[in-house]
Chain A
Amino acid sequence: MTMLNIARSIDARGMPCPGPLMSLIGAIREGQVGDVIEVLSSDAGSRTDIPAWLEKAGHELLEVVEEDGFTRFDVRKAR
């Protein structure tokens, strides 16, 4: 695994759907193009919501990792 340079990490564990996605959208708005943002979410809805939104919004999903009790999404702001 290559090491990503994480510009911002959002710990949304325990936040219900669609909170983690909303937090990610806010971070993308505030970030710079090229920033890598990490989101930790324990909400099962994030597994569908985050990839669907990224595709629609034109940002890059770098990696989805199932951790113990939560999922980690690494995302790059592409535009």
Chain B
Amino acid sequence: MGDSISLVLFSGTDDKLNAAGAAAMGRKVHVFLQYWALDAFRSDRILKDHGVAPEAGPEGAAAFQRHGGQHWSEILRQAKDIGDVEIQACSLSMDMFGLGVADLDPLVDGQEGVAAFFLHAGGPVTFI
């Protein structure tokens, strides 16, 4: 269990999603997508600009834009290729947005309830 981690992605801004992708590199990871993070994984929106966290301010947002780098979805795709990364959508958030699994990017493996996620979670749970 030592090198396994569970991430709850709650926020849907590009900076936070970027951080999540990096955490997933090369280890067993369970990812649970809730609320605004789930919305960012809709296949029609995944590559759109999701902004940055409010604390960035205009200067921070500009720095993030300039810095560029790989898109978080690409980092997660690589992480899935090289490791054991399972991404599940929160069924409550799916209901809230009126989404089905077919509306989401293929990075998402399926949907589950919040209790199933916490019961399956290996190691500590990090909330982003």
Contacts and interface: CB of A to CB of B under 8 A. Distances in A.
B3 to A, nearest CB: 22
A49 B119 CA distance: 8
B116 interface: yes
Interface stretch (A5-13, A14-22, A27-35): A14-22
Contact of A52 (B90, B94, B115): B115
Counting contact residues on chain A (CB < 8 A from B), the size range is 10 to 19
Interface of B is mostly: helix
B95 A48 contact: no
Contacts of A18: 92, 113-115
B91 interface: yes
Contacts of B119: 49, 52-53, 55-56
Nearest to B120: A52
A45 B111 CA distance: 7
Given A21-B113, A21-B115, A45 B92 contact: yes
Interface in B74-128: 90-92, 94-95, 111-116, 119-120
Nearest to B112: A48
- Please provide the 9 A-B residue pairs with the shortest distance between their CB atoms, ordered closest to farther: A45-B113, A45-B91, A49-B113, A48-B116, A48-B112, A49-B115, A52-B116, A17-B92, A52-B119
Interface of A: 16-18, 21, 43-49, 51-53, 55-56
Interface of B: 90-92, 94-95, 111-116, 119-120
